[in-house]
Amino acid sequence: MSELAGQTIQQLFKQWRSGDAEAGQAMASRFSDWYYAIAASRLGDPPCRQPLETACRRFAEGVSTVTEARLLPGWSHDIIVEELKTAGERAWGGDFPNNITGKKKPSDLLAKAVDKLTPAQVTLLDRAYDRKVPLDDVKALANEAGGYPIAVLQARYALKRVLRSQYNVQFTEVPDQPNLDWGPLPLYECGRMDGTNEEKSFETWMLSDLSLCKDIAEFSSFAIALRGGALKAKPKATASSEAITIPPHHHPNHPPGPGPGARGPQQGRAHRRCCGGRGHLGGDRRDDERLMRGGGEGVRADAATVTAMRLAEARAALDDGDPQTAIVEAEELLDVDPENLDALFLVGDASLELGDALGARAAYERYLELCPEDPGALSGLAVACFDLTDLDGSLSAARQAVALEPQLAEAWHQLALILELRGEAKEARQNQRRAAELEPDTFPIPAPVPQAAFTQALNRAQASLPKRLRAWYAQVPMELFPLPDLDELRRSSPPISPSVVALSQGAPPEDPVAAWERPPSALRFFQKNLEREATFSGDLVATLRDALIREAAEWLGLSPDDAQLDR
């Protein structure tokens, strides 16, 4: 497809209409990148995901109705604009961490980077991206620094260079000398273009230059933070991705899945997908490329539409806390296309949400057979293997993940858990600190829970239980151990996750009535796991109470929300 890279959209379109499937794939990839750049710049990622997926689906469904190449840019632009309007049209501030930012908040990185810029550059960027500042004032500042708009563009690239060199932000588009034709770029990112026609002209022009699309897409999170005043003394946040994204591998209050292997902390997966892929502008585009396969009137838009719709439904179900539906949708896709990478990744994610580590491991392993160097899948495999007490497999996958993506906090955290269980405390702490530096909100350094604090919090947790459970637990000794015993965990089938907070000692009676009459001989809590869960939740008493209810339900053969536990 390399010979197609230099061709225009119009040329690719004509070749596709003539039946050239490869040209169709190249065209689909180009439109996918273009749509993503526009959507991410306006709304941010992840808020742009749903309108982006819908726009891609509409493009696939309708492109065969476009008969002239000259009509294609305007027709396709109308689609993405219509979908973005339904989602809010533009974000005027907020933090949207992503892989480019190393999962760090853009506003935090900007606050550090200002010290490496000149005061004039900081002032110019702050005022240029603040639409409340009159444009004439911005022009006056820019003229003092070399002219408008080129001075703003130069300050923007100075910021990108600092972020890349000093804070390891993985930018690819940082030219030594800016392209003078791109002068309007900051004006576009600031939302300052005069009317819809000027903005439409600029966005349509973007379609002819993939490097420009890449530049806008990779800087989008920072542009939104700048629009919200991130360079001011008190940054303003009008939106936050933290209320939208799911913390990787860490949902301590998620209901336990079926079987003993689901006990303990429930672990979710970050959903790093957009428009049917694991990332645009450099990521895998198998689904995007399928959109145009076939060419001419024989375009296979129907199959592509079904794929896009099923993926969107599966992701929505997972985001809404319904992993079982997500698995059903994804597996129906896999029945038709066993090598669909997005569907395999979704099955892995959703299986971990359900506590099905065996299913997750199988999905990630199959994914990695097809795409062996994906750090996200390797990190997911590390979690699944860990939950199955396969420490060697988990260690290997986690180490491969951080080698491929050193900014992947999730994998560093997993390494810390493995090494802690192996008794390598010093290295475990180093890896935990690394994870906390990258994602302090998701993987905070655990606060110690000494015996005295544990006893006091446990008494309060027991006192908060319903009367029947409180009386039942009054017969059960409570003990605190550093970590669970792997051999004991492996006696269950499937094994119990080493992340478990508490375990009942003994085997429950088969008769539910007898289980009420014969409680466990002891309930053991595991200090290191408890410290992690309590630090993440911010409430030691609530963490203990959840563990008490979960273990009682497990012993009694009930679900944690069964009415019998509330009496």
Asked if the model's pLDDT at residue 234 lies above 60, the reply is no
Residue 266 pairs in a beta bridge with 251
Residue length of the chain: 567
User: Which residues, 6 or more positions from 253, have their beta carbon under 8 angstroms from its beta carbon?
Assistant: 266, 537, 546
User: At which residue do the structure tokens 């795409």 appear?
Assistant: 371
pLDDT of residue 406: 92
* SS3 labels along 343-387: HHHHHHHHHHHHCCHHHHHHHHHHHHHHCCCCHHHHHHHHHHHHH
Q: Which residue has the higher pLDDT, 217 or 47?
A: 217
Q: Do domains 252-438 and 451-566 have the same CATH topology?
A: no
Does residue 408 sit in helix, strand or coil? coil
Question: CA angle 19-77-128, nearest 5°?
Answer: 140
Name the nearest CA neighbour of 463 among 453, 454, 473: 473
Q: Is the pLDDT of residue 248 over 60?
A: no
Protein fold of 451-566: Zincin-like (3.30.2010)
pTM to 2 decimal places: 0.53
CB-CB neighbours of 406 under 10 Å: 14
List beta partners, residue 274: 277
Give the pLDDT confidence of 81-110 residue by residue, as tens digits: 999 988 877 888 888 887 788 888 899 999
pLDDT at res. 272: 30
Residues 539-566 have a mean pLDDT of 86
Q: Measured between alpha carbons, how far apart are the two ends of the chain, in Å? A: 67
Report domain extents, the chain.
106-238, 252-438, 451-566
Please state, as a whole number, how many other Cβ atoms lie within 10 Å of the Cβ of residue 253. 12
pLDDT for 302 equals 45
Is the model's pLDDT at 260 over the cut of 50? no
Q: How confident is the model at residue 380 (pLDDT cuts 50, 70, 90)?
A: very high
pLDDT score at 448: 93
Please give the pLDDT value at position 97: 85
For residue 244, pLDDT over 50 is answered with no
Nearest Cα residue to 545 out of 507, 486, 501, 488: 501
What residues are paired with 523 via a beta bridge?
Answer: 478, 504
Q: How many helical (H) and strand (E) elements, i.e. helices and strands, does the chain have?
A: 26, 3
Spatial distance between the Cα atoms of 332 and 238, rounded to a whole number of angstroms: 39
Residues with Cβ within 8 Å of residue 78, at least 6 apart in sequence: none
Q: Which helix (H) or strand (E) holds 522?
A: strand 522-526
Q: What residues contact residue 433 under an 8 Å CB cut-off, 6+ apart?
A: 445
pLDDT band (50, 70, 90) for residue 307: confident
Output the pLDDT for position 1: 46
CATH topology of domain 252-438: 1.25.40
Highest mean pLDDT among 190-194, 205-209, 393-397: 393-397
- Give me the torsion for CA of 551, 552, 558, 563, rounded to 10°: -130
In this prediction, residues 252-271 reach a mean pLDDT of 33
DSSP designation for 299: -
pLDDT of residue 291: 38
Of 18-22, 33-37, 261-265, least confident by mean pLDDT is: 261-265
Question: Which residue has better confidence, 302 or 14?
Answer: 14
